[in-house]
Chain A
Amino acid sequence: MMRCGYGLVALPGTDARLFSPEPSFLRLPRTVHPVRIKFGSFKIRAKIGEARKEVSFYDMLGISEKGTLPEIKQAYKQLARKYHPDVSPPDRVEEYTERFIRVQEAYETLSDPRRKALYDKDLALGLHLAFSARRRYQFDEDLEDQSEWRNRWQSQLSELKRRNMSRDAGGNMSWGARMRRQREELSKQV
């Protein structure tokens, strides 16, 4: 399993590009308070959770749990054609699109045998934890990692600024400090 550059683990069978930190909806405002960011991601997790609470993937696609791959494919195609935003009635675009996405997610999970196995296992335990929700949980965690990184270097930067106030004070006799003082004096004279 190859680890991608910024710490988002690419789960096999998925494409690393899905885990771009760029999407604007998760573009958390740049804030110095770690607390607020955590809250933000909790909100999102909650939203995902509630959106996923009711219906299992099988019910959504309208097939039985023993459905074979061609059945799954057919069900998906039907539903996708019905709910795709391009063909949905204009007054119900939002709802249809949401459905479309869920259908797509259901198909993604159920058509990949490995993910299907995981999903079935979760379902048996009574957890409707969609693979994507699981993945999104991971995604959120990785995103938290990202924001942690961001916080870390932001605080490092502010420290850098702060300590430079006192850096070239009289006591600092490093060669660089001496040269900087010299340069400042010369520029003041000019």
Chain B
Amino acid sequence: MALCSCSFPAIVSCCAAASEPQKSTPFASHLLGGSDLGFHPLLKLNQVKKRPCGVYASLSEGAEYYSSRPATPLLDTINYPIHMKNLSVKELKQLADELRSDVIFNVSKTGGHLGSSLGVVELTVALHYVFNAPRDKILWDVGHQSYPHKILTGRRDKMHTMRQTNGLAGFTKRAESEYDCFGTGHSSTTISAGLGMAVGRDLKGERNNVVAVIGDGAMTAGQAYEAMNNAGYLDSDMIVILNDNKQVSLPTANLDGPVPPVGALSSALSRLQSNRPLRELREVAKGVTKQIGGPMHELAAKVDEYARGMISGSGSTLFEELGLYYIGPVDGHNIDDLVSILKEVKTTKTTGPVLIHVVTEKGRGYPYAERADDKYHGVVKFDPATGKQFKGSSVTQSYTTYFAEALIAEAEADKNIVAIHAAMGGGTGLNLFLRRFPQRCFDVGIAEQHAVTFAAGLACEGLKPFCAIYSSFMQRAYDQVVHDVDLQKLPVRFAMDRAGLVGADGPTHCGAFDVTFMACLPNMVVMAPSDEAELFHMVATAAAIDDRPSCFRYPRGNGIGVQLPPGNKGVPLEIGKGRVLIEGERVALLGYGSAVQSCLAAASLLESHGLQLTVADARFCKPLDHSLIRELAKSHEVLITVEEGSIGGFGSHVAQFLALDGLLDGKVKWRPVVLPDRYIDHGSPADQLAEAGLTPSHIAATVFNVLGQKREALGIMSSRN
């Protein structure tokens, strides 16, 4: 076709479509399918191939784009960022498109974080084009958007192992590659780390660049401000890229639709984006500056700064006040703009800290992600052509859902119950609670410290706050738990999801330490359910404990299938009382939390060897069931405590009690089974348990070892599959 699309806006679609997948439909069938303009991506009119203008369609046409690996001729030539240096900007755009399709293809095969990665494809390409990693440091906050970064930095051939045992980590990890300069997983850490790297570079007298990419959600955490404040003060050269996609909490939608961003900061940022500065006043200010100019640089600079502050809207002054030079907003999907800005900033000698406000769209480039309420933030394997995820079906629901249902049932009965979470409405299940009680559910943004003290304040007023924070994220709020809650004995209830090993997310999200750091607090009641029915009862118990703080932990995963209490309403347990599940002799397994299930499995393994074990569920780590422990210690030869937590937790408390009670002076042998003293890498839950030594086979082997039957112990270990 001789005509270039240039002068006719209606064919804009085909240039835009260059970045979308197309099918080569013959001309006639397009007409027949013409009514389907509201959008099946496969039915776009394929005019681009014949047009000389715009971006050459780099994706293969047809359904093959989706079901098999997309053709990526340019991306195939890039193994490391250095291979990108000779590309033109047009080729960079093509590279971005190919990179995007590669990300979609890879995530469809392995599952993972899709939306965030799609939003930063252009930014990643621009960063690696302009900067020279690994000498220049590029830090990715949280790290879940680093898939394009990993593809471009030598790990493309391993992308099929993403989040699997011995495969690539789902977040950046220093041990994995020199291009990952800082390990992330929890949010809001990159400005701090980046500042540290910048200052280190200055002390050593070097000249590389430091770039920290952080999202608007992560900006709701205090650490980001602590870091910016310090950066402004130290005035060291570094670049902070604020990746603003208006998705401040996770998931990016609740059950009923997209979630409006939480907090005042978001509205400031959106004012920034939409602000139309008073250009005339700006020009006047410039004119004034020019007149003053000449030798009076500093005065002119001051005038200009005031003028900027007056005019550029209330948002940018926030960053300016902290001492960062604000540039933006910038279209984050326009590689031209990104490259020119980054080049300018890079070549400017003494910038101090600079903040570039980049506006992106989460899930960009994949129609299903763009349209979905949650923007396909985290997905399991899916079919790229239809966007349908292959979610496994299960008889039971997740502990998260059970917790939410239990809390709803309690809140129906007691109007003082309120729930608090830190930007994790979906992950904690509190979206369900929000739907039922919109006024009683509080999302504070990524601010765990604030969440805990906020809950303490609520407790002061006689309300019953339930703080649902992941075990691993509770680490961020530890001082608030100690000082604001436990010290004052305020009845705040902590529901710690994702306790123990968590599978694909890896050690950054692993809840190994919560028993240790909660049970050592003098006033805290610490308990753990062994199955979902127990979870319901413990929620009720926590609701009933009104004179001191309490906490309970439950793992990632689905319930085991026991009968739930009627009406989802649990019955409060007697505090400090465990239960015996199986009566046996000689050897007692005392489990805490989900480890009880492993104990039961170990007991059935050993039954075939002629051993009848006693299995007990401690339920409470604090206060311990002293009579149960005394009973077990006195009537058994061996007592093994099992928990999915680190040293210093349940087992240590039991040992302390045994020692103080004189029970260790007798004949009983006590052994702990805990998580080993190292971080367990990401992988499937079964692999992780095996790596940690907490499978039923391991427990059974421990029993044999203590009884002196080494041969049988080896037999059990070698026969497990």
Contact = CB atoms under 8 A, between A and B. Distances in A.
B720 interface: no
A23 to B, nearest CB: 5
Contact of B301 (A87, A101, A166): A166
Nearest to A102: B10
A64 B298 CA distance: 70
Interface string A140-157: 000000101110110111
Nearest to B1: A85
A156 B327 contact: yes
A3 B237 contact: no
A15 interface: yes
Contacts of A116: none
B88 interface: no
Nearest to B205: A183
A5 B3 contact: no
B234 interface: yes
A86 B329 CA distance: 42
Contacts of B207: 183
A4 B361 contact: yes
Contacts of A125: none
A86 B37 CA distance: 20
Contacts of A19: 12, 16
Contacts of A165: 297
A5 B364 contact: yes
B349 interface: yes
Contact of A174 (B7, B27, B234): B234
B351 A160 contact: yes
Interface string A153-181: 10111011111111111011011110110
A153 B17 contact: no
A104 to B, nearest CB: 6
Contacts of A97: 3, 8
A182 B38 contact: no
Contacts of B354: 160
Contacts of B3: 85, 93-94, 97
Given A5-B360, A174-B233, A23 B245 contact: no
Interface string B343-364: 0110011111010000111001
Nearest to A162: B301
B337 interface: yes
B331 A149 contact: yes
Contacts of B7: 25
B249 to A, nearest CB: 16
B31 A167 contact: no
A57 interface: no
Interface in B511-570: none
Contact of A132 (B10, B349, B352, B371): B10
Nearest to A10: B370
A152 B53 CA distance: 29
A71 to B, nearest CB: 13
Contacts of A124: none
A13 interface: yes
Interface in A21-37: 21-26, 34
Interface in B83-103: none
Contacts of A161: 344, 348
Given A2-B258, A34-B279, A85-B1, A146 B234 contact: no
Contacts of A104: 10, 34
Given A111-B35, A157-B327, A152 B277 contact: yes
A153 B370 CA distance: 27
A176 B8 contact: no
B402 to A, nearest CB: 33
Interface in B282-325: 282, 297-298, 301, 304, 308, 312, 325
A119 interface: no
B350 A136 contact: no
B148 interface: no
B24 to A, nearest CB: 13
A18 B326 contact: no
Contact of B351 (A18, A152, A164): A164
B705 interface: no
B298 A20 contact: no
A167 B350 contact: yes
A16 interface: yes
Nearest to B358: A5
Interface string A56-77: 0000000000000000010011
B236 A148 contact: no
A134 B332 CA distance: 26
Contact of B54 (A23, A155, A159, A164): A23
B609 interface: no
Nearest to A150: B337
B10 A101 contact: yes
Interface string B24-62: 000100011011011100000000000001110000000
Given A174-B235, A176-B352, A186-B205, A21 B35 contact: no
Nearest to B8: A101
Contacts of A118: none
B298 A18 contact: no
A140 to B, nearest CB: 10
A164 B3 CA distance: 48
Contacts of B10: 101, 104-105, 132
Contact of B27 (A22, A86, A139, A171): A86
Interface in B127-151: none
Given A5-B364, A24-B53, A180-B202, A157 B344 contact: yes
Contacts of B39: 15
A7 interface: yes
Contact of B38 (A13, A163, A174): A13
A23 B54 CA distance: 7
Contacts of B190: none
A171 B4 CA distance: 57
A90 B86 CA distance: 40
A42 interface: no
B327 A5 contact: no
A3 B330 CA distance: 16
B9 A23 contact: yes
A80 B34 contact: yes
B622 interface: no
Contacts of A4: 361, 370
Contacts of B4: 24
A175 B1 CA distance: 62
B234 A176 contact: yes
A15 B370 CA distance: 11
Given A176-B235, A176-B236, A22 B352 contact: no
B364 A180 contact: no
Contact of B236 (A84, A86, A164, A179): A179
Given A157-B327, A161-B348, A5 B332 contact: yes
B218 to A, nearest CB: 18
Contact of A17 (B16, B233, B327): B16
A120 interface: no
Contacts of A159: 304, 308
For A18, A48, A161, A163, the residue with the greatest tally of chain B CB atoms inside 10 Å of its CB is: A163
Contact of B20 (A13, A17, A23, A179): A17
Interface string A101-143: 1001101100110000000000000000000100010010000
Contacts of B659: none
16 contacts: A22-B16, A23-B5, A24-B4, A25-B6, A25-B7, A48-B9, A85-B3, A152-B329, A157-B345, A160-B345, A163-B301, A163-B304, A174-B235, A176-B235, A180-B237, A183-B205
Interface of B: 1-13, 15-17, 19-20, 27, 31-32, 34-35, 37-39, 53-55, 119, 202-203, 205, 207, 233-237, 245-246, 258, 273-274, 276-277, 279, 282, 297-298, 301, 304, 308, 312, 325-334, 337, 341, 344-345, 348-352, 354, 359-361, 364, 370-371
- A-B pairs, 3 with minimum CB distance: A5-B361, A176-B235, A174-B235
